[in-house]
Amino acid sequence: MLYELRVCHVNPGKMQALQDRFKDHGIEFFMKHGMKVIQFWVDIDEASNRLYFIVEHANLEMRNFNYDRFHNDPEWIEIKRITELDGPLASKIEGFLMKDVSFFQNK
């Protein structure tokens, strides 16, 4: 299994709009395209203005395939356009790919 930590650097004043887009559309679209969102977090210091989430992928090839389908989904493109009429919600999104270590099993 492959895990991806995504870090959204949210534009000022857009945190609620980004969370609403995930809640109302994003999670559903990730699932539609074979990606499971594990958890979301925000910084305890609200001034940092970052949203974190982890996505589970079968492997790197499926991750790339699924994101390609997600980003090219006409319905998602329209939702993104509508939700960003007042400007982009994030200035940057970073992704960090991770895999399990052999010495630890969460039971």
Q: What is the CATH number of the domain that holds 91?
A: 3.30.70
pLDDT digits (tens, 9 = 90+) for 2-36: 999 999 999 999 999 999 999 999 999 999 999 99
Question: Among candidates 3, 34, 16, 18, which has minimal Cα distance to 83?
Answer: 18
pLDDT digits (tens, 9 = 90+) for 55-102: 999 999 999 999 999 999 999 999 999 999 999 999 999 999 999 998
pTM for the structure as a whole:
0.90
Answer whether residue 88 is part of any domain: yes
Answer whether residue 106 is part of any domain: no
Answer whether residue 78 is part of any domain: yes
Main-chain dihedrals φ then ψ at residue 89, nearest 5 degrees: -80, -30
Q: Which domain holds residue 62?
A: 9-99
